[in-house]
Structure 1
Amino acid sequence: MEKFLEALRGLLADGDGVALATVVARSGSAPRDAGARMLVGRSGRLWGTVGGGLVEHEAELLAMETLRSGTSALREFCLRAEGLERIGMVCGGDVTLAVQYLPGGAAGPLAAADAALRCLRAGGDGWLVSRLSTAEAGDLSFLEKEAAEIRFSALRQQAADEVLFEAEGKPWFAQRLIRSGAVYLFGGGHVARELAPLLARLDFCFMVLDDRAEFAVPADFPGAKEVLCADFG
């Protein structure tokens, strides 16, 4: 999620309009769960995936159309045998995709990406929220957990991390942003060097500690929150 937010912020800050494709609902068997995201520019896919195959191809075509029109789209894909004539994939389920046009330099989405990054890096808890209107440019905002639950009753005591819901007469999609957990690696040797990149990919916050200065080298663990030379006791 952090890499997605960094990519989104960079594109918007550079003034490039971008299409954000998101799996907002899934039933049965499908390539990716709700919350999978992909960024598409005028040259094609820039970051991420919504499942590959023809679903992703159709998502890229939709994204190109939103970039031309300056509006957004919401589309359902049937991945069952009876829907074969529509998409050509038989995974046994259905996928709903939202494709939002986010203008370059747009203050709202840019502020949302910045706030979400700060929250993640500080170990906070909040929701990235999109209004799924199809007649206008996309809307993206970030709300800390308490503020989100005050505004949207559907997010109160919500067990799921991805929620498609109705509010204010419109469809919305919310994705919870929270660190997976914290891991302390005692020892900065060869095992820690193999484990650290895996923890980073799984979005764990991790710290590395070693009582030998030559093994407590921050440059060896670029994804770590902290690398300390410290007594284990």
Structure 2
Amino acid sequence: MFKDNWIHELARLEEQHEPCVMVTVLEDRGSVPRDAGTKMLVTRDNIIATIGGGHLEHVASKMAREMLLSGEQSLKVERFNLGARLGQCCGGMATLSFEPIGTAQKHLVLFGAGHVAKALVHIVATLPLG
């Protein structure tokens, strides 16, 4: 699923509590498919927008899905030599960031069993905690 307006799709994913990884072209040198600032969202089942297709996008989407499956929550930055590493004819260099969004688990620890804690349990039960 390719869409150009990734920001609206990101808002929709957040509303649906669907985690994704935002892949951003941070730096482009030489001939590359897309310029710095280009973004792509990767969910478990979809790709929203594009960083240019080809082997770079294939590898980036695979890395993003692996991050989702493992529950990775840290930003990653990776540099790709499109000619030597990926065999793409454009041959430039692209630096990508991989930013997990919506993957953080929310936890609440409640201590005590008094009347205040018992009252809080009913309120906490209405919160969107995973």
- What's the offset of the Cα at 1:104? 5.7
The alpha-carbon distance between structure 1 residues 105 and 13, as it changes in their structure 2 partners (threshold 3 A), is farther
Alignment: residue pair count: 100
Match of 1:75?
Answer: 78
Match of 1:54?
Answer: 55
Q: Are the aligned partners of 2:56 and 2:82 in contact in 1 as well (CA < 8 Å)?
A: no
Larger fraction in strand: 1
Residue 14 in structure 1 maps to residue 16 in structure 2: yes
Select which of 26, 29, 45 maps to 2:28.
26
- What's the offset of the Cα at 1:73? 2.2
Structure 2, unmatched stretches of 5+, are 106-130
Q: Secondary structure at the match of 2:52?
A: coil
- What's the offset of the Cα at 1:41? 0.6
Give, as a single letter, the amino acid of the residue that structure 1 aligns with 2:43.
Answer: G
Larger fraction in helix: 1
Mapped partners of 1:99, 1:105: distance in 2: 15
Q: Secondary structure at the match of 1:7?
A: helix
Mapped partners of 1:79, 1:105: distance in 2: 32
Mapped partners of 1:13, 1:95: distance in 2: 31
Q: Secondary structure at the match of 1:74?
A: strand
Q: Secondary structure at the match of 1:43?
A: coil
Q: CA RMSD in A?
A: 2.0
Match of 1:99?
Answer: 98
Mapped partners of 1:35, 1:21: distance in 2: 10
**Equivalences for 1:1-233 in 2 at 5 Å?**
3-45=5-47, 47-69=48-70, 70-71=72-73, 72-80=75-83, 83=84, 86-103=85-102
TM-score (norm 1): 0.40
Structure 1, unmatched stretches of 5+, are 107-233
Divergent runs of 4+, >4 A: none
Q: Are the aligned partners of 1:13 and 1:104 in contact in 2 as well (CA < 8 Å)?
A: no
Q: Are the aligned partners of 1:62 and 1:73 in contact in 2 as well (CA < 8 Å)?
A: no
